[in-house]
Amino acid sequence: MEKIIELKKVNKWFDKFQVLKDIDLEVGSQEKIVICGPSGSGKSTLIRCINRLEEHQEGNIVVDGTELSESTKNIEKIRAEVGMVFQQFNLFPHLSILDNCTLAPIWVKKLPKKEAEEIAMKNLTRVQIDDQALKFPGQLSGGQQQRAAIARALCMEPKIMLFDEPTSALDPEMIKEVLDVMVDLAKGGMTMIVVTHEMGFAKEVADYMIFMDEGKIVERAKTKDFFENPKSERTKLFLSQIL
């Protein structure tokens, strides 16, 4: 399988505190990976390093054949290929949902407005909020906003999608509608890295599970093995607490 993301010996510090310790990770094209672990274990930082919202200090990160480093000139090009969905949605409140979705395709990918709107409507239909296209983010429920944020990321037609705890800020009732969209996306063959505590979702779509603690990858295993037969004690403890 073709490798699309490759991390080698990645280390990162916030001042003196080390958040990532010798992270090695390979993600193949169309693979779905779920990262879990206690808070403060570095999961969010890890995926934020993949589109360089955070900078790593040591090691190599290669995304789709381009190495990320300080001298990476066209970091924008990489980011345009890597969609990201945030815990807090981060929709642009001054723009309508449709404009949220067309802004980057028009200004970054230089698509004509009409084409960008067609793509936007296609993706909004896919996440089932096409009827909300002309509303502003403040007028939507949390679940709808998160689905809009997913549609916005999809409009850039990314090769990889990163999800940073996409359901953590949602009411329990709205979690399902967002997870359904993500399952649908996974079945469509998208490469996905998801940080989440939704183990039901993980069991359904993940190829691999990664368990992180204190900045290290403690366990990396096929989903079935991970849940039925975890190797490390730390993983067992964690699973016993959340399952």
Pick one of 57, 60, 69, 88: the residue that binds other proteins (CB under 8 A). Answer: 88
Pick one of 37, 42, 83, 143: the residue that binds other proteins (CB under 8 A). Answer: 83
CA distance 128 to 191: 21
Contact (CB, 8 A) for 153 and 172: no
Considering just the CA atoms, what is the radius of gyration of the chain in Å? 18
Q: In what order do the strands lie in the sheet with 66-67?
A: 17-28, 3-14, 58-63, 66-67
Binding status of residue 82 toward other proteins by CB under 8 A: yes
Pick one of 25, 33, 63, 80: the residue that binds other proteins (CB under 8 A). Answer: 80
Binding status of residue 14 toward other proteins by CB under 8 A: no
Which residues, 6 or more positions from 108, have their beta carbon under 8 angstroms from its beta carbon?
Answer: 76, 80, 156
CA distance 189 to 57: 32
Looking at residues 144 to 203 of the shown chain, list those that interact with other proteins (rule: CB under 8 A): 149, 152-153, 156
Nearer to other proteins, 29 or 90 (CB): 90
Helix (H, G, I), strand (E, B) or coil at 164: strand
Pick one of 41, 44, 45, 51: the residue that binds other proteins (CB under 8 A). Answer: 51
Helix (H, G, I), strand (E, B) or coil at 168: coil
Binding status of residue 76 toward other proteins by CB under 8 A: yes
Pick one of 58, 93, 171, 232: the residue that binds other proteins (CB under 8 A). Answer: 93
Binding status of residue 113 toward other proteins by CB under 8 A: no
Q: Which residues are near other proteins by CB under 8 A?
A: 51, 53, 76-77, 79-84, 86, 88, 90-94, 103-104, 107-109, 136, 138-139, 149, 152-153, 156
